[in-house]
Structure 1
Amino acid sequence: MKTTEKVKTYSPQGFRDRFLENDNSKDYLFKSNSEHFFCLKLEEINQLKFPVPPSKHICHTLLFITSGTHKIKIGFEEYTTQSNEIIVIPAGQIFSIDSINTEIEGFICQFHPNILIGKYGNPEMINDFDFLKIWGSPDLYFPNKESQFIIQLLNRLQVEYTESGVTNLDIIQPYLIALLCEINKNALKINKNGTAATVLTTKFKELIYAHINQQHQVNYYASILNVTPNHLNKSIKFATGKSPTKWIEESILLEAKYLLYQTNFSVSEIAMQVGHYDQSYFSRIFKKSEGVSPVQYRKLIDKS
């Protein structure tokens, strides 16, 4: 899409299809271009159809709540976001939504990472924002003063998008960068006192994301992090309440559920995608966790 092309705004009825870029083909469900952007008020899209099964998007999504509460699963953790909180769904992160509270108010802003590259940005800028990384903290609270700054920036982006679409990146890009910088300022305040265990946990999550399709052994991750398996186990349990083994198992199953929904891969292909070359073993551990086989899970999703 060229920046000179007029882009229509999203009607509430068609929003979910546009949000997911749904062209009735699972393989292209989340297809998007490098200038993809929108910013809308949540009140304008309360006719979205739910649930949304485990899914991924190649764009970053920000949900800022000004009134009411909203529940969303990011990875395998559920978050309840309230007034003056922002929920971040990083590009590539698996998320799911069971339902939406139609009484919530706020904003939803989605953008492709490449939109930060150009006149006012650069490719390295995205690395400054840890909250946009899959292993970052997705739920951030803002005191009243800081939340007003966020609202002002989102209002400006929403007005620009509603009136002009993405035709004027010279306006959208600097306001979007300012928004991310405001969010980052607060995120850094929250994370500056991170313990050694939380720092190690963050690195561990990053490694799982990068290697889950090949490496399932705690010993492997401990060696990469230059700690003993016992130390890694204690640190992860202390920081999260779950063992490294549990994190690995849940990451495998979550990736499998996403692939069952969003692709046309066979069960054997999905098993290989998550590092299991024995389809029958993969199917057994999936059914043990979910109560249904991978094939039955896919059928249940299709019916929904």
Structure 2
Amino acid sequence: MKNLISLNWRSKLEGMENVNFLNDDYYIYRNEKVEPHTGPFKMDMTICGICLKGESKGRVDMIPFEIKAPAISIVLPGQIIEHEYCSDDFEGIYILMSERFNESLNLPDRFSNFLSVRNKPVIPLTDKQLDAMLTYCKMVQSVIKVTDNPNRMEIIRHLTIAFFYGLGYYFHKLPDGTKETRSEVLMRNFLKQVQAFHKQERKVEFYADRLCLSPKYLSQTIKSYSGKTAGEWIDEYVVLEAKVLLRSTNMTIQQIGDELNFPSQSFFGKYFKRLTGMSPKAYRE
């Protein structure tokens, strides 16, 4: 049985003076710096980051992102986040929402599809759009501070529904720019398959079959487009998942190897060391 340990961000946030939160479902705070995490990590909440000043760079599920003020980014529960750079003048507002809270919003279709955030996690904002989002933040913070109001959660829920309807409109209104090439579409679809099945399958043939392509064509196209082979992308995602489990859970190395469908702890250890230069135990420490 897995024994998951959540990153201690909840207790850290609740101990900060500038954080407003309600139960374990909703947090909002202003931050002047993003401290790079020691490695890739996952969150069990949706993270909305409104960039007010400066810029930040990183990767979400291996896809590079860059956010420059004014803009908003959204990371969904379970996505692997890697922070790589944050400018000295960075300033932002962060909103964290639990899956339970998201479900209570009853947004149409799936949450991620409604916002189109898996393919477009960052959206630039006009001054008018930024003002609207800051108004939402101020209203929510005011509601949370009235601690004797028994309807705080319901009020925040309705404010957030309006917020996301407006945000969904902005996402869908964005100009597409240049049309995606076949290689771009294939790369995106390939990574979706890797994200979904990397715990079960590490063979290129499996993903080629899922995409109705020959392994040779898939490998050549991915290599030509990205500079990495399909096998290298698969290995990278498996290692990212392993790093997340090693740093943010108390699962044993054997359990992590089982989770990632390796035949033995020894096989997993050799695989991890070949790709990272260190053993799973050394990385965890």
Instruction: Please classify the TM superposition score into its range, dividing by the shorter chain length.
Output: 0.7 to 0.9
Which residue of 1 is the match for residue 19 of structure 2? none
* Alpha-carbon contact 2:59-2:65 (below 8 Å) kept: yes
Q: 1:41 aligns with which of 21, 30, 39?
A: 30
Q: For residues 160-175 of structure 1, what are the structure 2 equivalents within 5 Å?
A: 160-164=143-147, 168-175=152-159
Is residue 87 from structure 1 mapped to residue 81 from structure 2 by the alignment?
Answer: no
Which residue of 1 is the match for residue 164 of structure 2? 180
Call closer, same or farther: CA 1:51–1:226 in 2, change over 3 Å: closer
* Alpha-carbon contact 1:70-1:104 (below 8 Å) kept: yes
Instruction: Report which stretch shifted further, 276-285 or 73-82.
Output: 73-82
In 2, the alpha carbon distance for the partners of 1:117 and 1:290 equals 38
CA deviations 1:49-105 (Å, max 9, x no partner) are 763532222211011101122344433455442211222221001224467656422
* Alpha-carbon contact 2:25-2:97 (below 8 Å) kept: yes
1:61 partner SS: strand
- Larger strand share, 1 or 2: 2
In 2, the alpha carbon distance for the partners of 1:271 and 1:21 equals 34
2:156 partner SS: helix
Aligned-partner residue type, residue 217 of structure 2:
H
Aligned-partner residue type, residue 166 of structure 2:
E
Aligned-partner residue type, residue 113 of structure 2:
D
Which residue of 2 is the match for residue 10 of structure 1? none
Is residue 140 from structure 1 mapped to residue 126 from structure 2 by the alignment?
Answer: no
- Give 1:19 shift: 6.3
Which residue of 1 is the match for residue 189 of structure 2? 203
In 2, the alpha carbon distance for the partners of 1:75 and 1:41 equals 25
Call closer, same or farther: CA 1:251–1:21 in 2, change over 3 Å: farther
Q: 2:9 aligns with which of 1, 4, 16?
A: 16
In 1, the alpha carbon distance for the partners of 2:201 and 2:13 equals 30
Aligned-partner residue type, residue 163 of structure 2:
L
In 2, the alpha carbon distance for the partners of 1:166 and 1:137 equals 37
In 2, the alpha carbon distance for the partners of 1:20 and 1:291 equals 34
- Give 1:292 shift: 1.4
In 2, the alpha carbon distance for the partners of 1:19 and 1:77 equals 28
Aligned-partner residue type, residue 281 of structure 1:
F
Which residue of 2 is the match for residue 251 of structure 1? 237
- Give 1:298 shift: 0.7
TM-score by length of 2: 0.78
TM-score by length of 1: 0.74
Call closer, same or farther: CA 1:279–1:265 in 2, change over 3 Å: same
- Give 1:221 shift: 1.2
Is residue 292 from structure 1 mapped to residue 285 from structure 2 by the alignment?
Answer: no
Which residue of 1 is the match for residue 94 of structure 2? 108
Aligned-partner residue type, residue 42 of structure 1:
N
Q: Which runs of 5+ in 1 are unaligned?
A: 1-14, 23-32, 300-304
In 2, the alpha carbon distance for the partners of 1:95 and 1:271 equals 21
In 1, the alpha carbon distance for the partners of 2:117 and 2:150 equals 21
In 2, the alpha carbon distance for the partners of 1:232 and 1:284 equals 27
Which residue of 1 is the match for residue 3 of structure 2? none
Aligned-partner residue type, residue 173 of structure 1:
R
Aligned CA-pair RMSD: 3.4
Call closer, same or farther: CA 1:297–1:71 in 2, change over 3 Å: same
Q: Which runs of 5+ in 2 are unaligned?
A: 1-7, 16-21
- Give 1:212 shift: 0.9
- Give 1:249 shift: 0.7
1:140 partner SS: strand
Which residue of 1 is the match for residue 142 of structure 2? 159
* Alpha-carbon contact 2:108-2:114 (below 8 Å) kept: no
- Give 1:215 shift: 0.8
% identical aligned pairs:
22
